[in-house]
Structure 1
Amino acid sequence: MKLISWNVNGLRACLKKGFAQAFTQLDADAFCIQETKMQPGQADFAPEGYTEYIYSAEKKGYSGTAVWSKTQPLSVSYGIGVEEHSHEGRAITLEYPGFYLVNVYVPNAQEGLARIDYRMRWEDDLRAYLLGLDAKKPVVLCGDLNVAHQEIDLKNPGPNRGAAGFSDQERGKMTELLAAGFTDSFRYLHPDVTGAYSWWSMRFKARERNAGWRIDYFIVSSRVADRIREASILPDIYGSDHCPVLLDIDL
């Protein structure tokens, strides 16, 4: 099954920058996006052969997730079962016969780690939610997880240590998630690859210089990691400050 995840930084804006062409080119079985920044019906995009699932934030023009799937899922749920996290459109779960696909847009800790306490609660609640699913069938988690886990995952780890996305707290929660029985698909296949990033600041020509961060992931239940056929980052696809990431897995 070929899966794509992409933080589009506003679907309506991305549609003006080639999103539909990239969608067709990638020909995924399920295509997950984050940061839609829209309400249902606000974007003119209805790809043939796919069913759309969209979860918008209550605040207009903010956050939001969506999935297009070729295969009708057994069930679809929105959120992670905790009321506190049910207002920003941050998680959609599609249940298939062989696995759960969970598309998330993880809250940013913000400048000065202003939202770090909320972020820590989210991390603990998301991990508990995933473990609950994993007890039933394997899980594929994808999305903008808003953390570069290791120094290899960003261009300039030194100056960014302690900043949002590279704080000890956020990195520690990623370590906890992986230790709980999950595997970072990209690092599973490419443990030592450097310069592999999925997000670049819009300032200082960061993308031209490849001064980026790897904060977009496919995380899978460790017991199915050996079924990963491909896990890659697609930096040549533009339209957002993030690029798509891909997982091909035999489930």
Structure 2
Amino acid sequence: MKTITTVNVNGVRAAAKNGMGAWLSQAKPDILCLQEVRAPRSELDALAVDGPLSVAPAWHIYNHEATAKGRAGVAILSKFEAIETRTELGPEEFDSAGRWLEADFETAAGLLTVVSVYVHSGEVETPKQVEKYKFLEAMQERMAWLIENRELALIVGDLNVGHTELDIKNWKGNLKNAGFLPQERAYFDNFAAQGWVDLGRSAHPETPGPYTWWSFRGQAFDTDAGWRIDYQLASPKLAQLGQNYRIDRAESYDARWSDHAPVTVDFQL
């Protein structure tokens, strides 16, 4: 059994300072996918090799930093070594740095490809939304290739879109906002049409949420006015091997070390 967790840490240095290590010592994932790392490799190593995020056996650390310093950034920390990693996504002129990282692992069930992805948050009628659509388009093309060529593939991360009305507490108030626009949600319809299985929705087919992100502002966390924007999307064969989908929601607002909660699945690998 292999445990795979994804979480947007909202800055890995702040997360480590505010209690991520205590959570990690309890969760014990075999593969930990991070988004919004917002730190150079040297500082990620300091935290994960000898710092509060270190584990035994030691992590194998793979990362992709954003072009802009202190922005975005994705990483995969694994207890076993990857045989190959890739960061290419889309045409050469498209800047996807810090948002897409693939890693291949040998398992008893076959070759496993894990992708840690951080989709743009977007902003309606601005260049940020244009970039978000460019990224979703490139992501869709790459996911089509992966599902055709990898029997065991997993796309995880902060995808910054609520797919259906079940995925946002206040969906009526967000119909014209980035994260719940019809054009954004259509990409997720396409992912499903390609064959990707949303393990969160499979585990909770008719239940609102369970949510993975709550604003730090106001009473969003206390009233559970959240969004389900952190996903684990599995190829059909891998989905059959997944079980125990869970979200590690903090016990209280004060106990949070990120505005996102970790999303974990166990796989029979």
Q: Same fold (TM over 0.5)?
A: yes
Q: Which moved more, 1:188-197 or 1:84-93?
A: 84-93
Q: Which moved more, 1:169-178 or 1:110-119?
A: 110-119
Q: Which residue is 1:159 aligned to?
A: 173
Match of 1:125 among 134, 138, 149: 138
Aligned counterparts, 1:87-126, within 5 A: 87-97=96-106, 98-112=111-125, 114-126=127-139
**Deviation per residue, 1:40-88 (Å, 9 max, x gap):** 1124312242111111112111000111101111111123253244453
Gap regions ≥5 residues in structure 2 = none
Equivalent-residue separation in structure 2 for 1:36 and 1:225 (angstroms): 27
Judge conservation of contact 2:64–2:101 (CA < 8 Å) in 1: yes
Judge conservation of contact 2:220–2:226 (CA < 8 Å) in 1: yes
Query: Residue 242 and residue 56 in structure 1: after superposition, are their counterparts in 2 closer, same or farther (change >3 A)?
Result: same
Match of 1:82 among 55, 67, 91: 91
Judge conservation of contact 2:147–2:194 (CA < 8 Å) in 1: no
Compute the TM-score of the two structures, normalised by the length of structure 2.
0.88
Equivalent-residue separation in structure 1 for 2:19 and 2:88 (angstroms): 29
Match of 2:155 among 109, 120, 141: 141
Compute the TM-score of the two structures, normalised by the length of structure 1.
0.94
Judge conservation of contact 1:113–1:164 (CA < 8 Å) in 2: no
Is 1:203 paired with 2:221? no
Judge conservation of contact 1:2–1:28 (CA < 8 Å) in 2: yes
Equivalent-residue separation in structure 2 for 1:16 and 1:213 (angstroms): 25
Question: What letter is aligned with 2:260?
Answer: H
For 1:218, what is the secondary structure of its paired residue?
Answer: strand
Equivalent-residue separation in structure 2 for 1:155 and 1:211 (angstroms): 5
For 2:184, what is the secondary structure of its paired residue?
Answer: helix
Q: Which moved more, 1:221-230 or 1:28-37?
A: 221-230
For 1:28, what is the secondary structure of its paired residue?
Answer: coil
Judge conservation of contact 2:90–2:139 (CA < 8 Å) in 1: no
Query: Residue 20 and residue 119 in structure 1: after superposition, are their counterparts in 2 closer, same or farther (change >3 A)?
Result: same
CA RMSD of aligned residues (A): 1.6
Is 1:65 paired with 2:80? no
Judge conservation of contact 2:169–2:226 (CA < 8 Å) in 1: yes
Superposition deviation, residue 23 in structure 1: 1.7
**Deviation per residue, 1:110-163 (Å, 9 max, x gap):** 255542222222112112112222222221000000001010111101011120
Q: Which residue is 1:8 aligned to?
A: 9
Query: Residue 111 and residue 202 in structure 1: after superposition, are their counterparts in 2 closer, same or farther (change >3 A)?
Result: farther
Equivalent-residue separation in structure 2 for 1:130 and 1:192 (angstroms): 26
Is 1:21 paired with 2:22? yes
For 2:67, what is the secondary structure of its paired residue?
Answer: coil
Q: Which moved more, 1:145-154 or 1:111-120?
A: 111-120
Q: Which residue is 1:241 aligned to?
A: 259
Q: Which residue is 1:191 aligned to?
A: 205
Identity fraction in percent: 31
Equivalent-residue separation in structure 1 for 2:239 and 2:43 (angstroms): 37
**Equivalences, count:** 251
Equivalent-residue separation in structure 2 for 1:236 and 1:207 (angstroms): 9
Gap regions ≥5 residues in structure 1 = none
Q: Which moved more, 1:207-216 or 1:132-141?
A: 132-141
For 1:101, what is the secondary structure of its paired residue?
Answer: strand
Superposition deviation, residue 233 in structure 1: 1.4
Equivalent-residue separation in structure 2 for 1:72 and 1:125 (angstroms): 27
Judge conservation of contact 1:79–1:85 (CA < 8 Å) in 2: no
Q: Which residue is 1:56 aligned to?
A: 65
